[in-house]
Amino acid sequence: MVDVNKIRFGALVREISVQQRQISFNSLVPVIEQDACGNSLPWQPGKLRVRPVDVYRILEPYVKVRLLEQIKAVLPLAAYLVLFQLFILRQNVTDSWLITAGLFSVIVGLMFFMEGLKIGFMPLGETIGTVLPQKSRLPVVLMLVFLLGISVTFAEPAIGALKNAGSTVNVEKAPYLYAMLNDWSGIFVLIVGIGVGLAAVLGTLRFIYGWSLKPFIYLGLLPTIALTIYIMGDPELSKILGLAWDCGAITTGPVTVPLVMSLGIGIAAAAGKGHSSLSGFGIVTLASMFPIAGAQVLALYMAQTTTPEAIIEGATAAGLAVDSAFWYKETPWVEIILGIRAIVPLVVFLLFIMLYVLHEKIKNPRVMAYGILLCVLGMIMFNLGLSYGLARLGGQSGGLVPAAFTNIDMVTGSPLYAYLLGIFIALAFSWLLGFGATLAEPALNALGMTVENLTNGAFKKSVLMYAVSFGVACGIAVGVLKIIYAIPIGYLLVPGYAMAVILTALSSEEFVNIAWDGAGVTTGPVTVPLVLAMGLGFGDAVGAVEGFGILTMASIGPIITVLSTGLWIRWKIRRRHEEEEEPLEQTEAAVP
Amino acid sequence: MSKKEITVLTDVALITCIVQRGLADDIIRAAQDAGAQGATVYYARGSGVRERLGALGLAIEVEKEVINIIVATDQIDHVFEKMHVTGKLDTPGMGFMYVTPLEKAATYIPHEIVMKLSR
C-alpha cells in the first residue's frame, strides 16, 4: 500500500531539479540509403556547424589550461625579481612596459611552442621510434639518432638565450669567449649538438643493453675534468670554462628530452628490452656532459687557429660596420629568422626519415602542419620576449643587486647596505631565486612523482623536490660568490664533482640515475635565460670578466644533495630493519 | 555446512560519463557533493564529434577519461544533473553521459547499518 501523503524522494528531486527535455535518439540518427541492389551505402558524417558561443566554450578551457601553465612558470619569478628590486634595492624597474610586453610574449610563445611540439612533433617522434628499429639495422638507427641529437639542439629555445648573451660579452676582456658566442656561434652550437647526438647514441645503447650509468659517469667526467684542468693553465682560454660548463645545463630542455626519449623508448621496446622504468633516465646526464667536453675541444681548436688580437681586431671592425646594418639584422626580423632556422631543420630531418627511410605515410598532414606552424610562431614570440622581457629583466636585476654591497654608478647612495650585510642580501636573493624557480618548475613535479613510484614510496615526492631545489639554490648562491670574488671555476668544479663521484660510488643505481638527471630535467626554458641574464648582468656590474658558471653550479648542487638524501634514506631504512629484527631474534633465542 | 549470508543492494544505477582526459576530477567532486559515494575512472580513447568539428577539433583531447559512478535510484537525477552542468556536456565535443539500470550490487556496508535496515 502506498501512503498518499508520502512521495518518493527521487520523485521530489525530479520535481525540484532542472527540467529535462526529452528527445528520442531515433530522431537524430541518419537514414542509411541503399543503392539499386539493396546494399546499404556507408554514411558520411557531415561537418558540424557550431554557434560562436560554442566556439568560445570549446576554446576557453583549452587556452586557459595551457596559458595558466606558462603563467605559473613565468610570473612568480618575474614578480620576485621586480619586488626585490623595488623594496630591497629601492630602484624602479626601467622599461617596465617593454618588459611586461616581453614577458607576455614569452608566456604566449611558450604556450604555442609547447602545444605545437605536442601535436606536431611528438607523434612524428613516436612513430619513428617504433617503426625505425623494425625497418633498419642498428648502425643505421644509431646514425639517425645521432643526427637527430644535432638537429634537436638547434631547436632548443634556451640555445637562443645563449646566443643572445653573446652580445653582452666584452671582446677586449675575454676575446675567446666573445668569438665563441659571435663569430663561431654556429660551429659552437653544432659542436654542442654533436655532443648531444653522441649522448643520444650511447643512451640508446644503454636502453637496449641495460648498462649501468655509473661507468658512463666516470668515463664521461674524466676527460671533461682533465680538459678543464688543462684549459685552466691558459689565462686567456680559462675564461670560456664557465660557458662550456653552462651549456651542459642549457642543452637539456623541453625539446631534446622528450624527443630523444621517445625515440629511445621505441627502440628499446622493439629490442624487447628496457622495461625497467629506470632506463629512461641517463640520456639527460650524458647529454649534459658531452657538450661540455665538445665546447672545451672547440676552444682549444680556436686557440690553435686564431689569436686574441685577431679576434679583437675583427670585432672592432665589425663594430664600425654596424652602421650599415642589413634589414635582416634588425630586431623583429632577426628573431623571426632565428625561429625559422631553429625549427625548420628539425622538421625537414624528421620528414626525410619518415618519407625516404621508412616509407611511412604521415597520418594527419594538416594537423602536423598546424603543429609545426605553432612551433615556429611560438619560437619567434619566445625569442622576441626573451630579448625584450626575460633577458632585460634578469640583466637589470643582476646588475642592480651588487648595489647592495658595492658602489654602482646607476644607483645613487650605493652601497645601500654595509658590506657584509650587502653580500648576505645578494646571496640570499640568489638562493631564494634558485629555490623558488626550481620548486615551481613543472618538470620537477613530474620527476618527483616518477621517483616516488620507482622507489615504492621510500623517496617521497616532496623530499626529492626540496632536495633538488635546495641543491639548485645553494649552487646558484655559490655561483654568485664565484662571480663576486672571481674564483676560477675549476676550483669549484673539481671538488664538487669529486664529491659527486664519491657519493655516486656509494649510492645504488636508481639513486644515481635520479640524482644525475634531476638537475638537467629541472632547468627549464624560463629559468635558464633568466639566471643566465642575471649572472651576466651581475658580472658586468661587479666588473667580472664573464658571468657564466652559475648554471654549472646549479647543476652540481642537486646531484650532491639528492645523492646524500638517497644515502640518508637508505641508512634510515636499514636502521629501522635492524630495530625490527633485533627483538625478533631475542624472542627466537628465548623460545628453544 | 554453515550458512553464510551476504548483503546485496537493490535500487542501484550506474552513471557513466566520458570526458576529455584531466577533467574527471572536477566532475567527480561535483557528483560527490551531490551525494555520490565514490567513483571509478579509467582511460580510453574516443572519437565522434571531434572529427566533425574541423580545425576546432584540435582543441579537443582524443584521450578520454571514463567515470563510473554507482548511485541509488533516488539520486540519479540530482547527480546526473550536477555532473552534466560541471562537465559542460552541452558543448560540442565535451563528452557523453548515460545511466544504466543495475539489478543488484554489493560492497562493504557498515555492520550497524546492515543490522538497522535488515530488520
pLDDT at A265: 65
Q: Residue A572 pLDDT > 80, yes or no? A: yes
Average pLDDT over residues A566-573: 86
Output phi, psi for A90, to 5 deg.
55, 45
Q: How many CB pairs under 8 A join A and B?
A: 54
- Paired with B63 in beta bridges are B45
d(C-alpha A51, C-alpha A160), whole Å: 42
Residue A17 and residue B81: Cβ atoms within 8 Å? yes
- Paired with B27 in beta bridges are none
Q: Residue B94 pLDDT > 60, yes or no? A: yes
C-alpha cell at A28: 537524430
How buried is A134 (Cβ within 10 angstroms: 0-12 exposed, 13-18 middle, 19+ buried)? exposed
pLDDT at B103: 93
pLDDT at A140: 84
Q: How close is the nearest chain A Cα to the Cα of B59, in Å?
A: 6
Residue A54 and residue B92: Cβ atoms within 8 Å? yes
| Optimal mutation site among B11, B26, B52, interface A, most CBs of chain A within 10 A | B52
| Optimal mutation site among A51, A54, A115, A119, interface B, most CBs of chain B within 10 A | A54
Q: Is residue A542 a contact partner of residue A402, using CB atoms and an 8 Å limit?
A: yes
Looking at per-residue pLDDT, the higher value among A199 and A125 belongs to A199
- Paired with B98 in beta bridges are B16
Residue A57 and residue B52: Cβ atoms within 8 Å? no
Average pLDDT over residues A206-231: 82
The span from the first CA to the last CA of chain A, in angstroms, equals 72
pLDDT at A498: 87
Residue A58 and residue B59: Cβ atoms within 8 Å? yes
Residue B88 and residue A57: Cβ atoms within 8 Å? yes
pLDDT at A281: 67
pLDDT at A88: 77
Average pLDDT over residues A500-516: 83
Looking at residue A274, its amino acid is G
Q: Is residue A182 a contact partner of residue A166, using CB atoms and an 8 Å limit?
A: yes
pLDDT at A323: 45
Q: Residue B72 pLDDT > 90, yes or no? A: yes
Residue B91 and residue A58: Cβ atoms within 8 Å? yes
From chain B, the residues in CB contact with A119 under 8 A are 58
Q: Name the band, by pLDDT with cuts 50, 70 and 90, for residue B99.
A: very high
Domain assignments of chain B as residue spans, ordered by start? 12-118
Average pLDDT over residues A158-162: 71
From chain B, the residues in CB contact with A55 under 8 A are 56
From chain B, the residues in CB contact with A16 under 8 A are none
d(C-alpha B35, C-alpha B45), whole Å: 28
| Optimal mutation site among B49, B78, B89, B99, interface A, most CBs of chain A within 10 A | B78
Q: Residue A254 pLDDT > 70, yes or no? A: no
d(C-alpha A210, C-alpha A278), whole Å: 10
From chain A, the residues in CB contact with B59 under 8 A are 58-59, 62
| Optimal mutation site among B23, B45, B91, interface A, most CBs of chain A within 10 A | B91
Average pLDDT over residues A219-223: 85
Contacting A with CB below 8 Å, chain B residues are 22, 49, 51-56, 58-60, 73-78, 81, 85, 88, 91-94
**How is domain B12-118 classified at the architecture level of CATH?**
2-Layer Sandwich (3.30)
Q: How close is the nearest chain A Cα to the Cα of B106, in Å?
A: 21
d(C-alpha B97, C-alpha B102), whole Å: 16
From chain A, the residues in CB contact with B55 under 8 A are 370
Which residue do the cell numbers 570549446 mark?
A58
Q: Name the band, by pLDDT with cuts 50, 70 and 90, for residue A330.
A: low
Q: Residue A450 pLDDT > 60, yes or no? A: yes
Output the CA–CA distances (angstroms, integers) from residue A488 to A235, A474, A547, in the order listed: 10, 18, 12
d(C-alpha A489, C-alpha A237), whole Å: 12
- Paired with B100 in beta bridges are B14
pLDDT tens digits for range A45-79:
777 788 888 888 888 888 888 888 888 878 888 88
Output phi, psi for A286, to 5 deg.
-65, -40
pLDDT tens digits for range A1-51:
455 677 777 777 666 666 778 888 888 888 888 878 878 888 877 777 888
pLDDT at A584: 54
Give the whole-number percent of chain A exceeding pLDDT 70.
Answer: 84
C-alpha cell at A222: 674524466
pLDDT at A590: 46
pLDDT at A331: 63
pLDDT at A433: 84
Average pLDDT, rounded, for chain B: 88
Taking alpha carbons only, the member of A160, A210, A66, A230 closest to residue A525 is: A160
Q: Residue by residue, what is the 3-state secondary structure of chain B?
A: CCCCCCCCECCEEEEEEEEECCCHHHHHHHHHHCCCCCCEEEEEECCCHHHHCHHHHHHCCCEEEEEEEEEECCCHHHHHHHHHHHCCCCCCCCEEEEEEEECCECCCCCHHHHHHHHC
pLDDT at A36: 80
Q: Residue A324 pLDDT > 50, yes or no? A: no
pLDDT at B71: 94
Looking at per-residue pLDDT, the higher value among A294 and A122 belongs to A294
Q: Residue A325 pLDDT > 60, yes or no? A: no
Residue B93 and residue A58: Cβ atoms within 8 Å? yes
Give the closest of A13, A59, A65 to B74, CB-based.
A13
d(C-alpha A349, C-alpha A341), whole Å: 13
Output the CA–CA distances (angstroms, integers) from residue A499 to A98, A481, A496, A518, B102, in the order listed: 44, 20, 5, 17, 64
Average pLDDT over residues B65-78: 92
A116: nearest CA in chain B? Answer: B58
Average pLDDT over residues A101-121: 86
Lowest mean pLDDT among A16-25, A101-110, A491-500: A16-25
Give the closest of A48, A62, A119 to B92, CB-based.
A48
| Cα Rg, chain B, nearest whole Å | 18
Domain assignments of chain A as residue spans, ordered by start? 59-575
Q: Is residue B96 a contact partner of residue A35, using CB atoms and an 8 Å limit?
A: no
Write down the ipTM of this complex.
Answer: 0.76
Taking alpha carbons only, the member of A426, A216, A193 closest to residue A294 is: A193
Looking at per-residue pLDDT, the higher value among A349 and A280 belongs to A349
pLDDT tens digits for range A395-448:
888 888 887 777 766 666 666 777 788 888 888 888 888 888 888 776 777 777
Q: At CA A588, angle to CA A587 and CA A592, rounded to 5? A: 110
Maximum average pLDDT range among A10-19, A142-151, A513-522, A575-584: A142-151
B85: nearest CA in chain A? Answer: A18
Give the whole-number percent of chain A exceeding pLDDT 90.
Answer: 0
pLDDT at A329: 55
Which ranges of A306-386 does DSSP label H, i.e. alpha helix? 308-321, 331-352, 365-385
Average pLDDT over residues A516-523: 70
Residue A58 and residue B92: Cβ atoms within 8 Å? yes
Looking at per-residue pLDDT, the higher value among B43 and A515 belongs to B43
Residue A59 and residue B56: Cβ atoms within 8 Å? yes
Average pLDDT over residues A318-324: 52
d(C-alpha A391, C-alpha A335), whole Å: 14
Q: Is residue B81 a contact partner of residue A17, using CB atoms and an 8 Å limit?
A: yes
Contacting B with CB below 8 Å, chain A residues are 8-10, 13-14, 17-18, 20, 45-48, 50, 54-55, 57-59, 62, 65, 119, 367, 370
Residue B58 and residue A367: Cβ atoms within 8 Å? yes
A46: nearest CA in chain B? Answer: B52
Residue A48 and residue B77: Cβ atoms within 8 Å? no
Looking at per-residue pLDDT, the higher value among B99 and B46 belongs to B99
Quote the pTM value. 0.74
Q: Name the band, by pLDDT with cuts 50, 70 and 90, for residue B31.
A: very high
From chain A, the residues in CB contact with B93 under 8 A are 58
Q: Is residue A390 a contact partner of residue A536, using CB atoms and an 8 Å limit?
A: no
Q: Residue A322 pLDDT > 60, yes or no? A: no
| Optimal mutation site among A18, A111, A118, interface B, most CBs of chain B within 10 A | A18
Taking alpha carbons only, the member of A429, A430, A403 closest to residue A416 is: A403
Q: Residue B32 pLDDT > 90, yes or no? A: yes
Q: Is residue A434 a contact partner of residue A554, using CB atoms and an 8 Å limit?
A: yes
Give the closest of B73, B78, B91 to A57, CB-based.
B91
Q: Name the band, by pLDDT with cuts 50, 70 and 90, for residue A273.
A: low
Output the CA–CA distances (angstroms, integers) from residue A223 to A162, A231, A265, A506, in the order listed: 24, 12, 29, 22
Q: Name the band, by pLDDT with cuts 50, 70 and 90, for residue A482.
A: confident
pLDDT at B2: 67
C-alpha cell at A3: 501512503
Q: Name the band, by pLDDT with cuts 50, 70 and 90, for residue A388.
A: confident
